[in-house]
Structure 1
Amino acid sequence: MKQKKYFGKSLQEVEKLAVLELGVAYDDLYFDVISPDGTKDEEMEIEVIVDANPVKKGKDFLEKFLQDANIYGFVERKMRDNVVEYSITTEDANGALIGYNSQTLNALQLITSLIVNQYFDRDNETGLIVKVDVGDYRKSRDEKLEKLAVRVGREVARTKIPVKLRYMNAYERKIIHNKLSTWRDVKTHSEGVEPRRYIVVEPKSADE
């Protein structure tokens, strides 16, 4: 969690500065007064520590989003190493939450990730990888993309001919890149400009 030492003439002065600099709400901060109250010549010393549960904050955001959008559903969370997965289940709003070409779902995931990781000191902590899914859509989509990567990877390894894939968003491209990143015979790179950016799968040269 983020923490920082401050010096100021009063606790109120430090509180305002810490909220501004650390970028989190006042209720998520703990103020540990190290030195006595500041005097005319001396400033008080205060250790400010972020005191929050980032994973719960992400779940709270998604639940509030559903409530504000008048969508009946619930959010489950699951932790695995440094990955937190939020699974949203609704009765009839899956399509609206996913959006065209997964744009709404990707935006939800990005915002949730920003909310969760704002509590970490990114200079000293890696933070968490955040995934948001709706009705197992992303899980199913990821599996299809991984199968595509394997099929194309095998084809390129066999024929030695590069293959250009269809336009994909950044999340989809990452799935392909990661799946083939450890292959000995092929490599991947992206070309084009968003939203027409795509992956090229090509054979590795003999010295690679």
Structure 2
Amino acid sequence: MTNNDAVEVPEAPSLTKRLEEEGEIAADYLEELLDIADLDGDIDIDVEHDRAAVAIVSDTDGLDDLVGTDGEVLDALQELTRLAVQARTGDRSRLMLDVAGFRAARRSELSELADKAIARVKESGSSVSMDPMNAFERKVVHDVVTAAGLKSDSAGTDPDRYVVISPS
């Protein structure tokens, strides 16, 4: 081989392409689950905030059991789906799963709660601690706080971790 001979290295798949593949694998896994559970639902795949986003949507109310109380079943289903993706790709997945719009509605509620806490911090000049939240919920609050120009940190230990919002 001479110096002029180029060795072709296969190009790594783009992040978007890899995330779309994660979404497809997750959709296949979830479609099988819906078939086994005899539930009707459509699977939507997207890429949001550098992660695969998969949603199970339905015109009927039959998906409530996949959400569970306060989204506990949804959290477990998301972890199982992430594991299914990891088993196929060999890479850890940060996929986000939503069922029947539960996470979208919760994101909206949390944004409102964060806005109220931000207003209290700005008014008082003191830190405000929020109620315990899971990782998804804390991330939503941190994003809202950052956009408002304030600081936030998570404190405590799971399952009682919470967000503390402080003046900047």
TM-score of the pair, normalised by structure 1: 0.62
Aligned to 1:100: 69
Question: How far apart, CA to CA, are the structure 1 residues paired with 2:49 and 2:138?
Answer: 23
4+ runs deviating over 6 angstroms:
none
2:79 to 78, 87, 110: 110
- 8 A Cα contact 1:153 1:201, kept in partner: yes
Question: How far apart, CA to CA, are the structure 1 residues paired with 2:49 and 2:123?
Answer: 36
| Number of residue pairs matched by the alignment | 151
Gaps of 5+ in 1: 1-51
Instruction: Determine what percentage of the aligned residue pairs are the same residue.
Output: 28
- 8 A Cα contact 1:188 1:200, kept in partner: yes
Report how far residue 99 of structure 1 moved: 0.9
Deviates further, 89-98 or 167-176? 89-98
Alpha-carbon RMSD across the aligned residues, in angstroms, is 2.9
- 8 A Cα contact 1:54 1:116, kept in partner: yes
Question: How far apart, CA to CA, are the structure 2 residues paired with 1:149 and 1:70?
Answer: 38
1:157 to 122, 133, 145: 122
More strand by share: 1
Matches within 5 A, 1:108-187: 108-117=77-86, 129-184=94-149, 186-187=150-151
Letter in 1 for 2:44: E
Question: How far apart, CA to CA, are the structure 2 residues paired with 1:200 and 1:54?
Answer: 33
CA 1:139/1:81 → structure 2, altered by over 3 Å: closer, same or farther?
A: closer
Question: How far apart, CA to CA, are the structure 1 residues paired with 2:49 and 2:117?
Answer: 30
Aligned to 1:55: 23
Report how far residue 128 of structure 1 moved: 6.0
TM-score of the pair, normalised by structure 2: 0.74
- 8 A Cα contact 1:82 1:128, kept in partner: no
Cα deviation 1:58-116 (Å, max 9, x = unaligned): 10011111122222222222235733221212423222111112111112222223333
Aligned to 2:4: none
Question: How far apart, CA to CA, are the structure 2 residues paired with 1:121 and 1:182?
Answer: 34
Cα deviation 1:160-181 (Å, max 9, x = unaligned): 1221211211211111112212
Question: How far apart, CA to CA, are the structure 2 residues paired with 1:181 and 1:118?
Answer: 35
Which has the higher Rg, Structure 1 or Structure 2? 1
Q: Is 2:44 the partner of 1:76? A: yes
More helix by share: 2
Letter in 2 for 1:163: V
Gaps of 5+ in 2: 1-17
